[in-house]
Amino acid sequence: MREAARLFRDKGYERTTVRDLAAAVGIQSGSLFHHFRTKEDILKAVMVETIRLNTALMEAAVEAVDAPREKLRALVRVELESINGQTGEAMAVLVFEWRSLSADSQAEVLKLRDIYEALWLEVLGTLRKQGDLQADPFVVRRMLTGALSWTVTWYKPERGGLTLDGLTDQVMAMMNL
Does the footprint of DNA cover residue 11 (CB under 7 A)?
Answer: no
Of residues 34 and 153, the one with the C-beta less far from a copy of itself: 153
DSSP H or E segment with residue 72:
helix 68-84
DSSP 160: T
Residue 96 interacts with which of DNA, a copy of itself, none, CB < 5 to 8 Å by class: a copy of itself
15 in Cβ contact with 77 (< 8 Å) = no
Angle among Cα 124, 116, 65 to the nearest 5 degrees reads: 55
Mask 14-33, x = binds DNA (CB under 7 A)?
A: -xxxxx--x---xxxxxx-x
DSSP 38: S
- For the bound state, the minimum distance from the C-beta of residue 146 to a copy of itself, rounded and expressed in Å, comes to 2
Query: In one letter, which amino acid is 109?
Result: V
Residues that bind a copy of itself (CB under 8 A): 11-12, 14-15, 96, 99-100, 133-136, 139-140, 142-151, 153-154, 162, 167, 170-171, 173-177
CA distance 140 to 84: 21
Does the footprint of DNA cover residue 38 (CB under 7 A)?
Answer: yes
Which residues of the chain form contacts with DNA (CB under 7 A)? 15-19, 22, 26-31, 33-35, 37-40
